[in-house]
Structure 1
Amino acid sequence: MQERSSLYIVSTPIGNLDDITVRAINILKSADLIAAEDTRHSAKLMQHYDIDTPLVAYHDHSSASQTERILEKMRAGATVALISDAGTPLISDPGYRLVSIARSEGHHVIPVPGACAAIAALSAAGLPSDAFSFRGFPPAKSGQRQSWLTSLAENTETLVFYESPHRIEDSLRDMQVAFGSTRQAVLARELTKTFETFLSGTLEQLITQVEEDANQRKGEMVILVSGMEASSLSEDVSAEAMKIMGILLSELPVKKAASLCAQITGEKKNRLYQWALTQK
C-alpha cells in the first residue's frame, strides 16, 4: 500500500525495459509526482508502461528552490517517486540532497529495489563477490585519478567502478599502473542491452582488447578489479607489525589499531588495516 507524504526511491531499467518490477510500475502510476533526472529520457519509459504521472526534473545541478518545491508537495501530503535515467537512484546518480532533507523532516523514504549496473556486473563477472567496494566514477583528471587509484591498490575486496567511454582507455592504463599488469579484471559494457559484453583477463589484456576494438569504447561501462591477495599483504607486513597488531586488535577497533601500529613501526597504515581485515 502506498504511503502519503512519502518519497519512493524507484529503480528503473538500465537497458532492457522489461527489467522493472510490478511494484515499481504501480508506484510510478499512483504517485502524485515523479522527480526524474532527465524528463525527456524518462518519458520513453513512461510511455512504454502507459504512466501519465506528472514529471519534473531533479538532478545534481537542480537549484535549492527545485528541491524545496518537491518538499512542499510532500509537506502537503503528496507522494513523490524519485527516479534516475537508469538503475537505482543515488548509486552514482542524483538524489542525495532530496533524500537527506526528506528524512530530516520526518517524511517516509521508501526504497523500491530493482536494477543496478554495479550489482548486475558483479553477479556475472566471476570475481570474488563475498566482499566488494563500489567506488563510483574515478576522478576525471589524470593526476587525481592516479593518486586515488594508488590509495586503493592494497584493498583486498573486489573493486567496482563506473566509467565513461571517452575515459575508459586512460582509466584502464592508470589502473594497470596502480594495481599491476597481472591483476584480474572485468569490463562489463552495455548491460542488458543488445550489445552487452563482458571482457575478462588481466588489466594488460583488457587494455589490449579495448585498444584493438573500437566497439569496446562505446556505451555504459562497469569495471571490476580483483582485490590484492591476502598472501601478498602478509608478505609485505613485517613479523613485528603483525605481533603488535595482534595485541592492539584485542583491545581496539581495526582502524585505531592500524593507526597506532603505523606510528610505532613506520609501516603504511592502509596496508596494516587491510592486513587486519584478512585476519578476521
Structure 2
Amino acid sequence: MKINKYGTLFIIPTPIGNIYDITYRSVQVLQKIDYIAAENYNKIKKILNKFNINKPIISFHQHNEIQNTKIIFHKIKKKKNIALVSDAGTPTINDPGFHLIRECHKKKIKIIPLPGACAAITALSASGIPSNKFCFEGFLPSKEIQRKKALNLLKYEKRTIIFYEAPHRIIHSLQNIIEEFGKKKKIVLARELTKSWESIIFDTVENILYKYKNNQSICKGEIVLILSGYKNKKKKIISKKIQYTISVLKLFLPKNKIAVIISKIYNIKKNYIYKYLIDKIK
C-alpha cells in the first residue's frame, strides 16, 4: 500500500445482498487499513467477521457526517488510512460521503475508489431497457405532492430513468407513475438483488401494479425501478383530406409548388410535404 504525506481515504463498495459479492481487493484493503468509517455498524461487522478482519469502526451516517469528517481528517493527517463504507453498495451513491470526499479534495488528501456492487447498475444491466444513456434520480420523494412533481419533471426525459424505492411506498409510487407516464409505460422492477429470492420483472407499470396490489407479501425488500425514456411518436399528419388535396394539385402543378400550397393551407412544414411527395407520389 503506497504511503503518502498523509493517510489515504479508500472508498470501498460492500455487497448489496450476497456477502460473497465483495471483491478480493476490497477484502485485502480492509485487512490493511487503520480505521473503517461505516454507515451501519452491524452490517460492516458482519462482513468483517466473515473474513476474519478486526478493525476499529468510526460511525459515519447522514446525521453525523459533517461532525465525524473532522475526526477522520485528524486521523488521516497522522498518516492513518481510512476505508469509507456505506450500508450496502458503493459509498456516496445515495449514501453519506459527499461532504467527506469534497473536503478531501480541498485538502489534497488522496482518494482511492474501488469498483464493486451498486444496485442501480446491477438492475440496469439486467433490465432489457436501453442502458447507453440513463439518469439516476435516487429515492422518489416520500410525500405524494412532491413525488408527482418530481415525476412530472421527468415526463419527457429521453434517457432511461433509475429510481430507488422503499417497499412501503411502492404501490403509491407505481400509481403516481401511471398518472404521469401512462399505464402502458414499460418499466423494470428489481427487488432484493443478489439474494436467493431476488425478483426482476419487466412489464407495463399497469401490470406490475396489479401484481403488487394482489400479492402484498412481495412488497418487501429494497427496490430499484427502471423506466424507459420518452419517445417522440411521430403522428401521421398526412390526413386523407390532405392526400385528396394533393391528388388534385398534382394534376396541374409540380411537386415543389404543391409543397408550398399545402404548407400554407394546412400549416405544415414545406420540407416535410416535399419529402412526402418525393417518397409517395410517382
Per the shorter chain, which TM-score range?
0.7 to 0.9
Indicate the SS of the match to 2:26: helix
Counterpart contact for 2:11–2:85, Cα < 8 Å: yes
What is aligned with 1:59? 61
Amino acid at match of 2:46: K
Deviations along 1:201-254, one digit per CA (max 9) or x if unpaired, are: 11111110111112321001000010111436999xxxxxxxxxxxxxxxxxxx
- Find the counterpart in structure 2 of residue 104 from structure 1: 106
**Which one-letter code corresponds to 2:96 in the other structure?**
P
Q: Is the 8 A contact 1:74 1:80 kept in 2?
A: yes
> Residue 58 of structure 2: SS of its match in structure 1?
strand
Q: Give the C-alpha shift of residue 65 in structure 1.
A: 3.0
Q: Where do residues 43-58 of structure 1 align in structure 2 (5 Å cutoff)?
A: 43-58=45-60
**What is the aligned length?**
235
Q: Deviations over 1:173-212 (max 9, x none)?
A: 1111111111100100000012100122111111101111
The CA deviation at 1:169 is 0.6
Contact between 2:65 and 2:97, CA under 8 Å: does it hold in 1? Answer: no
Extract unaligned runs of 5+ from structure 1. 236-280
Question: What is the distance in 2 between the residues matched to 1:104 and 1:231?
Answer: 47
Amino acid at match of 1:208: Y
1:269 is aligned to none
What pairs up with 1:116-131 in 2 under 5 angstroms? 116-131=118-133
Q: 1:194 aligns with which of 176, 181, 196?
A: 196
Q: 1:202 to 1:109 in 2, by over 3 A?
A: same
Is 1:134 aligned to residue 107 of structure 2? no
Distance in 2 between residues matched to 1:79 and 1:197, nearest whole Å: 38
- Paired residue for 1:22, among 21, 24, 31? 24
CA distance in 2, matches of 1:26, 1:146: 45
Cα distance change, pair 199–53 in 1 and its aligned pair in 2 (3 A): same
Alignment-mate amino acid for residue 174 of structure 2: L
Check whether the contact 2:148–2:176 (CA below 8 A) recurs between aligned residues: yes
Q: 1:168 aligns with which of 156, 160, 170?
A: 170
- Give identity over the alignment, percent: 40
Shift of 1:52: 0.7
Among 218, 221, 224, which residue is 1:219 paired with? 221
Amino acid corresponding to residue 42 of structure 1 in structure 2: I
Partners of 1:92 and 1:206 in 2: CA distance: 25
Provide TM-score, normalisation by structure 1.
0.81
Q: What's the counterpart of residue 37 of structure 1?
A: 39
Which segments of 5 or more consecutive residues in structure 2 lack a partner in the other structure?
238-282
Moved over 4 A (4+): 232-235
The structure with more radius of gyration:
2
Tell me if the contact between 2:10 and 2:82 (Cα under 8 Å) persists in the aligned partners: yes
Structure 2 Cα separation of the partners of residues 27 and 234 of structure 1 = 60
- Using structure 2 for the length normalisation, give the TM-score: 0.80
The reply on whether 1:13 has 2:15 as its aligned counterpart is yes
Aligned partners of 2:146 and 2:72: how far apart in 1?
36
1:207 to 192, 206, 209: 209
Question: CA–CA distance in 2 between the matches of 1:234 and 1:9?
Answer: 53
- RMSD between superposed Cα atoms in Å: 1.6
**Quick one: structure 1 residues 73 and 232, their matched pair in 2 at CA, closer, same or farther if it must change by over 3 Å?**
farther
> For 2:220 and 2:44, how far apart are their aligned partners in 1?
22
Q: Secondary structure at the match of 2:11?
A: strand
1:51 counterpart SS class: coil
Question: Which digits, 9 at most, give the CA deviation of each residue in 1:92-143, with x for residues without a partner?
Answer: 1111111111111000111101000000000001111111111100111100
Tell me the SS of whatever aligns to 1:114. coil
